[in-house]
Chains A and B, each alone.
Chain A
Amino acid sequence: MAVPIRKSPVEDTVPKVNGEVAVGEDPEFQRKWWKFESAVFIIFTLLVLLDLAGVFGRGPLAKAHKSTPDGVMNVTYERIERTGTPSVLKVEFGNNAIQGSEIQLWANENLVTKLGNKQVAPQPAKSVIGDDGIHYTFDATKQPATAVFSLQPSAPGLYDLTLRVSASSELHFKILVMP
């Protein structure tokens, strides 16, 4: 047996304008919504200005520089990175870093596992894993000696990075990776 089609009476529930046109407008809600919209656009403008400044990475405020007191190592990097976005960490070595025509640099494992380092220029003569990190050995003669690490973080987070040339020349810093 066929199921009967359900029917219900039409009720005139939509509010009318001037008692003649059923519009269902809600001016009070709309006024609140316009205020909310204005607030949203102010927030959007602030966020874009912060972004231009580099608060979310890729801008002047994101760039950072650190060096050891003895001048053995100067590091230029981005303190705020973005997930999946390439960046560069540049390490400039002072004269004291070069010993026996080579430079030995140790970096903790976050450099590779969290910050996505896949390429180093120049290519290190040797890279050895150990001590919860990687030992890089670069052939070097005299200054200027620079190593450039290409980074591309795969996940957001706040990561500690440590670079060490010798026991007395060590740099710690934090890098924030934005989503």
Chain B
Amino acid sequence: MAAVLRAIFGYAFLVFMVRVVGRRPGKQMTPFEFVLIFFIGGLTLTFVVGDEASFTNALCQIMTIAILHYLISWTRTRSSGFARLTDGTPLVLLEKGHWRPDAMKGMRIADDDVMAMARDKELKTLDEIEYAILERNGEISIIKSSEFHKMAAGK
């Protein structure tokens, strides 16, 4: 009973912490962010497992977390408000040659991060970007400038 409650609390706490700490996982993850994720995960494990290192305990806790994950995923598809709470919403970082400083500051993202994704799309400068959008999964989508498209087509 206590082990299942600890697993529920541990999962909810970890989801909350990762949500609060910021949305820069996935492709944008830097080495120091790897440290953060593994460290928080490892520390959560200490109180979730406690001194109950049995096979039964591990199975029950894994199943508890699987059920919770299923419930959260199901609720996200039913309620857009809940999805906003768990994942946030996409955010425009750059729009037609203008940064959105509030979004950049709020999400703790630097222009270098946007440029890194732009290079990934084979763009060489920021002015070749029409829109840069921070997605819910933490990746930055780049939409090429239409003028750049025309220039590229004219060549």
Q: Is A8 an interface residue (CB 8 A)?
A: no
Contact with B along A10-25 (1 / 0, CB 8 A): 0000000110010111
Q: How many A-B residue pairs have CB under 8 A?
A: 38
Bound-state Cα–Cα, A29 to B131, Å: 21
Q: Chain B's interface: helix, strand, loop or mixed, by majority? A: mixed
B94 to chain A, nearest CB (A): 11
Give which listed residue, A25, A34, A41, contacts B106 with CB less than 8 A: A34
Give which listed residue, A21, A29, A40, contacts B20 with CB less than 8 A: A40
User: Across the interface, do B84 and A25 meet the contact criterion of CB distance under 8 Å?
Assistant: no
Bound-state Cα–Cα, A67 to B51, Å: 35
User: Across the interface, do A29 and B90 meet the contact criterion of CB distance under 8 Å?
Assistant: no
Bound-state Cα–Cα, A29 to B91, Å: 11
User: Across the interface, do B20 and A23 meet the contact criterion of CB distance under 8 Å?
Assistant: no
Q: Is B12 an interface residue (CB 8 A)?
A: no
Q: In the complex, which range does the number of interface residues on chain B fall in? A: 10 to 19
B107 to chain A, nearest CB (A): 9
A144 to chain B, nearest CB (A): 36
A146 to chain B, nearest CB (A): 30
User: Across the interface, do A21 and B96 meet the contact criterion of CB distance under 8 Å?
Assistant: no
Chain A 11-65 residues near chain B, CB threshold 8 A = 17-18, 21, 23-27, 29-31, 33-34, 37, 40-41
Chain B 55-81 residues near chain A, CB threshold 8 A = none
Q: A21-B131, A23-B131, A24-B90 are in contact. List 4 more A-B contacts (CB 8 A).
A: A18-B96, A21-B133, A25-B133, A84-B50
